[in-house]
A and B are shown apart, each in its own frame.
Chain A
Amino acid sequence: MEAFAVLLKDFAIPVLIVSAVFIVILQLLPREVRTIFKRELTSYFTSPIAYVLFVVFLLVSNGLTFFYLGILESGEASLYMPYFQYLPWYLVLIAPAVGMRLWSEEQRQGTLELLLTMPLSPWHGILGKFLAAAVVLFGMLVLSFPIVWTINYLGDPDNGVILSGFIATFFVSLCFLAVTSVISAMTRSQLVALLVSVFICLTLWLIGLPPIADFIMNITGPFEFLKPILQFFYSLGMMPHFTELAKGVLNIRDLVFFASFIVVCLIATSVVLRVKRA
């Protein structure tokens, strides 16, 4: 019972606060953004896609942690090693699966022509859709609470660190989603959008792996001329930012990185949509 009260205080209240702030922000946004947001969110839940993704994500992320990675034996009162460090690997697949339909479905159905001849700026659409998909991802993370419950039941973890692990995970998944938004604006096929987005997200994730990072930093010989390019890609890599945040080190630099990555991707989405029309 005590663990339950701790959970309420440490997680339920932050979730409620975030939700309330989000709802307030939504009310402040233009009517068009709200309307598109509502439509998108409803359509996630009127088709099986959201449910399937929820089940797959929760089974894989929670299940693997319990049964395969042995959280129960690890004796650790932190979730980083057995849980958070693996989450982005699943999200490399899950976030593009959530976002693949955003713009490609509009193009396949031809509804893009309806949407873009309505009196709204493309921004309204881009933002409304992104927010709806973000809420789906947020829901997935909220529903991961059993693992938090378990660890609190077993020991006395630092829930602040766990919370920042979730924040880090959420930001990474938003970055993956933003990449998917750009790619889905390029194609009418959801499958192509999914595959290309997964590839890009995986690359952006892998490039931050320490061995790969070391390799890039120490590149010599005939391929040395590639170094600046690889370094540029490395600087887009999310893993270093994620690791810091997930371990509980709240750094403005990392937050700015995530925020600007997302904003740049959304701007790119609007550019792609404009170029496609011309």
Chain B
Amino acid sequence: MIEVKNLQKSFGSKLAVDGISFTVKKGEVLGFLGPNGAGKSTTMRMVTGFLPATEGTISIGGSDVEADEIAAKSKIGYLPESAPLYSDMTVEAFLRFSAEMRGVPKGEIKDAVDKAIATTFLEKVRHQSIETLSKGFRHRTCFAQSIIHDPEVLILDEPTDGLDPNQKHEVRQLIKRMGKTKAIIFSTHILEEVEASCTRAVIIDRGKIIADGTPDQLKNKSKNAGSVVLRLNGVEKSVLTKEIEKLSEVKSTDPVTSLYGEEVALRVFPAKGKSEKLVSALSKVVAEKGGDLKELKMEQGRLDELFREITKSDNEE
């Protein structure tokens, strides 16, 4: 559905997007992660045809965004980052306008508007002037605009920005639901959002894709994924560390600051291919030393950890 090849964009001498390639098929929801200024919005603006690409090609459902601009654009629904709206219109008038512009047939406009209003919970403000809407309603009005023509491709730049937790949840569910029949790209800063609604995610930093995979794959890439944290009483820390490090299942250990004073807390990394046996080996050692085990937890790995690890150099500059 969406095919992006070697996309580049430079503003003057600054390279904002540096050779990004990816594809999104029907039924996929691709999450765009990355620090501010990484090139997420710029990439989306090129995919939607708002900004011309410096290099590379973008094809939407087989139509090239530059050569076959109108055909490509008619397949896309787009929610820009700032959720821009014509503030002098009412919600309904604005949605009618969008539907007409998007080529929804005259007889179907009313239904399309009703459906979009229902989907984005705008019934209450339907006849209200956009000027007077709160941020959440404005955002949803712009979201409604993006789905009004039931597009095959949805590009959503921070779709949950400015929403309260309940609305965020609704929108995530909505994206997940729509993702079954469409190809969706959405960008976000909120990592749990990626886990909640993406089938795949890419992390972009300084214009390049630096990680690509399902949320689970990405989590497994984080440094602490698969490591075991134990908290216990009654054993000297140095003794325990020594014993544990002798185990063939263990690669290394890392002290963890305990929140509970006297306790010993330790993070243990498994040796390659031994992660499954790690927990039982550890509990054996603890039992032998007579420790009073409070917690033993295997880490799933966290996206925010991976995110921080691989985009860290940015913050250090």
Contact = CB atoms under 8 A, between A and B. Distances in A.
Interface of A: 31-32, 35-36, 39, 42-43, 46-47, 109-114, 116-121, 277-278
B85 interface: yes
Given A31-B103, A118-B73, A47 B50 contact: no
Contacts of A278: 51-52
A117 B73 contact: yes
Nearest to B87: A109
5 contacts: A35-B101, A113-B84, A117-B80, A119-B73, A277-B50
Contact of A119 (B82, B87, B102): B102
Task: Name the 10 nearest CB pairs between A and B, nearest first.
Answer: A110-B84, A119-B74, A119-B73, A117-B48, A35-B100, A111-B84, A113-B80, A119-B70, A118-B101, A43-B88
A75 B98 CA distance: 55
A219 to B, nearest CB: 41
A24 B98 CA distance: 24
A130 B219 CA distance: 54
Interface string B37-50: 00000000100111
A273 to B, nearest CB: 11
B218 interface: no
Interface of B: 45, 48-52, 69-71, 73-74, 76, 78, 80, 82, 84-89, 93, 97-98, 100-103, 142, 145
Contact of A118 (B52, B82, B102, B142): B102
Contacts of B49: 116-117
A39 B82 contact: no
Contacts of B82: 110
Contact of B86 (A31, A111, A119, A120): A111
Which of A39, A112, A277 has the most C-beta atoms of chain B within 10 angstroms of its own C-beta? A39
Contacts of B50: 113, 116-117, 277
A278 B98 CA distance: 25
A36 B243 CA distance: 76
